[in-house]
């Protein structure tokens, strides 16, 4: 790994990676072989971008995110801090994909409006999962490997399948929570309790 002029002095970029000069890369971030970071992308500090990963123009990523090998994150996706994206996961950005216009002309950037995927802090997207924009994946949620996400995912939800549906709840450590009654869930590892709400779980405040 070597440093690249497009990065901050403390970022490490493999010689084979393609980082646009207008991209901004935070301190301590590592970008591995054959990854591509497009123009105006923003990557936070202490991130890890795997081999062959792709970040589209203007994609925004918070600190301490991990994007595994060959993940494809198309603009205008937003990843908050601490997000995990598994290998070969895909974030789409076109609701009506076509190569040509109704007249048969090759489509250009002016012929469609990009829509993005938003992943909130601490959430995880499993290997080969596909997130169909526009969707929001909530804080500390987990998308199982191979799932296709077509609707918003609540905070702390565990979703799986095609299309993805909620099959449980998870804590900050990624382990499934257990029900203790009256809409309360507990982490078997930490003992922390959560209250179920209409838009996901919330940590209980004593």
Per-domain residue ranges for the chain?
Answer: 12-170
Query: In the numeric block, which tokens belong to residue 104?
Result: 């048969």
Predicted local distance difference test score (pLDDT) of residue 9? 56
Cα–Cα distance between 103 and 192 in angstroms, integer? 58
**Per-residue pLDDT reduced to its tens digit, 13-35:** 999 999 999 999 999 999 999 99
**Per-residue pLDDT reduced to its tens digit, 34-74:** 999 999 999 999 999 999 999 999 999 999 999 999 999 99
Pick the more confident residue, 152 or 4.
152
* pLDDT band with cut points at 50, 70 and 90 for residue 83: very high
Query: In the numeric block, which tokens belong to residue 44?
Result: 């936070």
Provide mean pLDDT across the span 94-109: 91
The CATH fold assigned to 12-170 is UDP N-Acetylglucosamine Acyltransferase; domain 1 (2.160.10)
CB count, 10 Å around CB of 199?
A: 11
Burial track 97-106 (b if 16+ CB lie within 10 A, e otherwise): eeeeeeeeee
- Calculate ∠ Cα 181-184-189, nearest 5°: 105
């Amino acid at each position: 790994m070597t440093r690249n002029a497009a990065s901050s002095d403390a970022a490490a970029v493999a010689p084979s990676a393609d980082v646009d000069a207008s991209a901004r890369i935070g301190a301590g971030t590592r970008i591995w072989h054959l990854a591509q970071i497009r123009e105006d992308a923003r990557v936070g500090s202490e991130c890890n971008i795997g081999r062959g990963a792709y970040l589209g123009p203007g994609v925004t990523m918070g600190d301490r995110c991990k994007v595994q090998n060959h993940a494809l994150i198309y603009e205008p996706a937003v990843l908050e801090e601490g997000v995990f994206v598994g290998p070969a996961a895909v974030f789409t950005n076109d609701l009506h994909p076509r190569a040509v216009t109704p007249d048969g002309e090759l489509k250009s950037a002016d012929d469609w409006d990009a829509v993005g995927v938003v992943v909130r802090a601490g959430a995880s997207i499993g290997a080969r999962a596909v997130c169909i924009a526009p969707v929001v994946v909530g804080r500390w949620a987990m998308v199982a490997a191979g799932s296709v996400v077509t609707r918003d995912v609540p905070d702390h939800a565990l979703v799986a399948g095609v299309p993805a549906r909620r099959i449980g709840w998870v804590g900050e450590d990624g382990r499934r929570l257990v029900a203790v009654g009256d809409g309360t869930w507990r982490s078997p590892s930490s003992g922390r309790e959560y209250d179920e709400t209409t838009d996901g779980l919330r940590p209980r405040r004593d």
